Amino acid sequence: MQRTASAKWQGDLKAGAGAISMASGTLTNTPYSFHSRFEHGQGTNPEELLAAAHAGCFTMALSSQLAKAGLIADSLETTCTITLEQVEGAFAITESHLDLTAKVPGATNEAFEQATHAAKSGCPVSKLFDTKITLNAKLVG
């Protein structure tokens, strides 16, 4: 299985602008720029897209891990925060942090913790990242 996305860019780094598209059509010529990446301008940016990918991948992986334990979630809500900062004079992604709130009827804390840790280390996006990955997971009634 392969998935495809593309990016176009015109101009220099600070004054230039680009667009990102996905073969699925979910994003089509979605703008991105220096301002949307390093400031708070309109448009998306690579780190935001990585955060969406990690949140989605982890949440699906957790659903699979819970099913292996005979559990089905009423809800799994994950927010991912990607940290981009300068390290030794160059930008680097230094962390992907996952915040999860889950409602899983019948789950013990032990089963929930095992499933979340397996999902965190086992999801394909986690395996792709060469950075620190942290997780706060909360099981709610």
Could you report the per-residue pLDDT of 58-91, keeping only the tens digit for each?
A: 999 999 999 999 999 999 999 999 999 999 999 9
Indicate if the pLDDT at residue 3 is higher than 90: yes
- Residue 141: the pLDDT is 85
Q: Rounding to the nearest 10 degrees, give the CA dihedral for residues 31, 94, 118, 99.
A: -70
Three-state DSSP state, 37: helix
pTM for the model stands at 0.92
- Residue 130: the pLDDT is 85
Q: Which residue has the tokens 């897209």?
A: 49
Task: pLDDT band for 117, please (50, 70, 90 cuts).
Answer: very high
pLDDT digits (tens, 9 = 90+) for 122-131: 999 999 988 8
